[in-house]
Structure 1
Amino acid sequence: MESKLRDLEEREKKIYKNIMELKGTIRVFCRVRPLLLVDGVGTEGTIISYPTSMEARHRGIDLVQSGQKHSFTFDRVFDDKALQKDVFEEISDLVRNALDGHKVCIFAYGQTGSGKTYTMMGGPKPEDKGLIPHSLEHIFKTSHESEKLGWEYKMQASMLEIYNETIRDLLSTNPSYALDMFWSRGKGHVSAITTVDVCNIEEILSLLQQATRNRFVGSTKMNERSSRSHFVFSLKIFGENKINEQQVQGVLNVIDLAGSQRVSSTLAIGDRLKETQAINRSLSALAAVISALAKKKKHVPYRNSKLTYILEPYLSGDSKVLMFVNISPNPSSGGESLCSLRFAAKVNACEIGIPRVRVDNRRIFYL
């Protein structure tokens, strides 16, 4: 029976792998947040609609700006009625890939106040739980279920933010201390970051709360409590099967990007102005990287910002990458929403390689 279970597990992994490769190594999901009271408009004021044809259902989105309709198609589109659990269900297979030994990166992009942090971290109610808590619960649950098949897992968590092009360790006793980057084999790495061994979901959720308290936030015209930095959560996973001597090393990176916003619309001054300018520069650097990848250029400008430094191992290799583009339906945000959708369309056109497996003395490492 144990032998049959192991055979089924291997077949299941191959099916997951094939499904992910068919879907593409870099995918884009779009999520539209509901209209809120602070938006000051009724439902009739929305600029967003969804195609009703079977071909475009749950994949298409239309935005009307200055009387002109702009249509986009992504791997999945969630309307303003989608629940957090519905969104996670669509990415659960991808999260599982990290446990199987793949590099997985999920990041949220969009203007300030479009719902990125809610999507990633969630809200105060249990049903509002975000993708990061959902993913962690899924990983720990699946890892425990795999114990009967001979698997043992060790996991390490780290959390950082990029604030005004400075890297801060959110789990450090001195989070204001700036971290350096170093280069190894042509890739940028963060030096001396705090990594914590985690054994259960309670430990890691406690670390998330600590990181959230240490993160820079501020008030802008567009968002009363706006994230002023890029938040990077990383979970390294080391698995070993005592029965067949397989070893896997995977990583799950989840990134809550700071919101893009035109300086004129935020009315930012002082520190808020400097933050907004730094955020926009780093997001412009990300756009330049995506554009170079989409055009298959030989030179990709990863070194233009700390954000693209950190994303390079995922965008330049054989990782599984998923981008959430978060959209506000507020008519006053039409210009920003259109820019976000256009950027997401460029990301959707990128190809970054196919995951490969290296076999070494009966030990299998998914790279």
Structure 2
Amino acid sequence: MLADAQNHERDTRKKLSEVSEELASLRIAHARETAELQRQLQQKERSNRSLEEEMQQGRDELSQERETIRKLRQTQAEEEAKHMTLSAQLSASQARNSALQDEVERGALAVSAMKAELEVARLKALQVEDDAAQRISEAQAECDAKVAAVEDELRNAETIRRKLHNQVQELKGNIRVFARVRPALAHEENSPEGLAQIAYGDERQAQETGQSHLTVTTRSESATGKEREQVLTFQFDQVFQPKDGQKEVFEEIMMLAQSVLDGYNVCIFAYGQTGSGKSWTMEGGEGENAGMIPRAIDMIFAVSNQLKDRGWNYQMEGTFLEVYNEVINDLLGSGQFDSRKHEIKIDKDNVMTVTDVVSLPLSNPRQVSVLLERARSRRAVAATLMNERSSRSHSVFSLKVKGSNPLSGEECSGILNLVDLAGSERLASSGAGANKDRLKETININKSLSALADVISALGQGQQGGHVPYRNSTLTRLLQTSLSGSSKTLMFCNLSPLNAHLGETVCSLRFATKVNTTPAGNAKRSHGRASG
């Protein structure tokens, strides 16, 4: 806008200059004409009129020029006023510009100051971070030291737990006996002879004393024809009634089974007549009905995983054998029946091994389930009068456990033997005499169970240092290390609730009593320090 005003002013001045020049030229011309008129006045008096007219015309033109000059001057004044306004505006803009420059300079100074403060703050932050990192490092070191101390305490506590647990087991006796009466099946409750008269002791008293009682009432006819009643009371470490489920039973043996992780040999076997619930106790069914074998396996794997936090690592492998007609059959081998000859060997350290058997590495309970199913499909079973599906062989599932703890340098090894004995039954009751194969099976079963009774009897008479007839049967040879005091041993005495089986029930209870009163040496733990 200022430039336009300046241009306009220049144009106006130029025009004014031109007009001034023209005016000057006119004046000069007028002066020449006036001089010429004066010179020619006398000569041109006659043309005075025309000259006057011309002079009047000149005057008119001069008036017009003057008017023009007046307007030009007015325009010039206006332009000068505009110029002054623009000059004032320019001065104001220059003042504002100067103020802005001052503000920019102040802002630059403020930015410089802020940068300096920021640099100081950054250096302080770095110092704070270094201090915090140092404190975190010190706290982490302190935390690591506390964790290491807690881990040491846990390992020490675990060692104390193992010692206390084993002391408790020794106080309870290395050979313990649990009696279990199975519930009557639906079709048995309405049988002609009915249920046997079995009474159970007070549960509270059993918890206080650690001993449970079971009373059986028998009735027979005397020589004179009178009915004779006899009340027999038996005492065991635990008595399970028909209402007790698999979970309640396992809770009583789980700590014993866990001893295998501490480096002890553990043997749990089920004894009783055919149909008394031995296989149900040991193998069971699905879910809540799972038996001692799957529950023990699940528990051992779960506890071994928990012990990893305390430095323990375990390797496990399993074997599954059966004794059928005094011959060992590998249930994990190939073919329906094992044709290889297996020998039982016991070394100087009382460690038993069976030659040429399949031993499968196990890393989870699912593998064990597959192994058990594979063995179950191969086991020798047949129907007898005592039971529609009777196990015609003794089965022995062995879980071998080896543990090592790099943190403490400890090593241990143990074997868990879970044994399902074939049913004890008299030839007359079983109906085996009508079948040559069943007869041979029954004779061999009863022979091996009789040999087991002889071993228990010999041990009960204090013959551990003398002759104990382990070699009288393959079964007692397999159980030798479990019965001779180097193992923690538990026997389930499984009982039928039926009155028709009462004779066999009393025989089983008397045998179980003999086992329960058999003294045995202290179980030995297999442990040591890792070499290296």
TM over 0.5: yes
Q: Check conservation: 2:263, 2:525, Cα contact below 8 A.
A: no
Q: Does 1:295 align with 2:461?
A: yes
Distance 2:177 2:524 in 1: 22
Q: Check conservation: 1:56, 1:73, Cα contact below 8 A.
A: no
Following TM superposition, the consecutive aligned residue runs of length 4 or more in structure 1 with deviations greater than 6 angstroms are none
Q: Check conservation: 2:400, 2:414, Cα contact below 8 A.
A: yes
Amino acid at match of 1:194: V
Picking from 240, 257, 271, the partner of 2:437 is 271
Distance 1:257 1:53 in 2: 29
Unpaired runs of 5+ in structure 2?
1-149, 220-228
Tell me the residue number matched to 1:334. Answer: 502
> What displacement does 1:53 show?
7.7
Q: Check conservation: 2:273, 2:425, Cα contact below 8 A.
A: yes
TM-score (norm 1): 0.94
Picking from 37, 46, 49, the partner of 2:199 is 49
Distance 1:359 1:128 in 2: 35
Tell me the residue number matched to 1:127. Answer: 288
Tell me the residue number matched to 1:312. Answer: 480
Tell me the residue number matched to 2:95. Answer: none
Give the number of the structure whose residues are more often helix, by fraction: 2
Distance 1:33 1:247 in 2: 41
Change beyond 3 A, Cα 1:258–1:53: closer
Q: Check conservation: 1:47, 1:334, Cα contact below 8 A.
A: no
Picking from 154, 169, 174, the partner of 1:5 is 154
1:158-307 correspondence runs (5 A): 158-174=319-335, 175-185=337-347, 189-268=353-432, 269-297=435-463, 298-307=466-475
Amino acid at match of 2:162: K
Amino acid at match of 1:153: Y
> What displacement does 1:316 show?
1.1
Picking from 79, 89, 94, the partner of 2:256 is 94
Q: Check conservation: 1:33, 1:328, Cα contact below 8 A.
A: yes
Distance 2:245 2:316 in 1: 29
Tell me the residue number matched to 1:78. Answer: 240
1:57-72 correspondence runs (5 A): 59-66=212-219, 67-72=229-234
Q: Does 1:155 align with 2:316?
A: yes
Distance 2:244 2:497 in 1: 14
Q: Check conservation: 2:193, 2:499, Cα contact below 8 A.
A: no
Change beyond 3 A, Cα 1:326–1:3: same
The answer to which structure, 1 or 2, has the higher relative contact order (CA under 8 A, 6+ apart) is: 1
The count of aligned residue pairs is: 362
Amino acid at match of 2:251: E
Distance 2:252 2:446 in 1: 30
Comparing 324-333 with 308-317, greater Cα deviation is found at 308-317
Change beyond 3 A, Cα 1:172–1:119: same
Distance 2:325 2:195 in 1: 36
Pairwise CA RMSD: 1.9
TM-score (norm 2): 0.66
Distance 2:307 2:260 in 1: 14
Amino acid at match of 2:514: K
Picking from 159, 164, 179, the partner of 1:30 is 179
Amino acid at match of 1:285: A
Q: Does 1:345 align with 2:494?
A: no
Comparing 133-142 with 349-358, greater Cα deviation is found at 349-358
Q: Deviations over 1:157-207 (max 9, x none)?
A: 000100011110000013432432144437664211110000000011100
Q: Check conservation: 1:303, 1:309, Cα contact below 8 A.
A: yes
> What displacement does 1:41 show?
3.2
Distance 2:194 2:441 in 1: 34
Distance 2:313 2:527 in 1: 20
Tell me the residue number matched to 2:304. Answer: 143
Q: Check conservation: 1:171, 1:211, Cα contact below 8 A.
A: yes
> What displacement does 1:6 show?
1.2
- Percent identity (aligned): 45
Amino acid at match of 1:294: G
> What displacement does 1:318 show?
2.1
Distance 2:175 2:510 in 1: 16
Amino acid at match of 2:201: P
Distance 1:334 1:106 in 2: 25
Give the number of the structure whose residues are more often strand, by fraction: 1
> What displacement does 1:43 show?
11
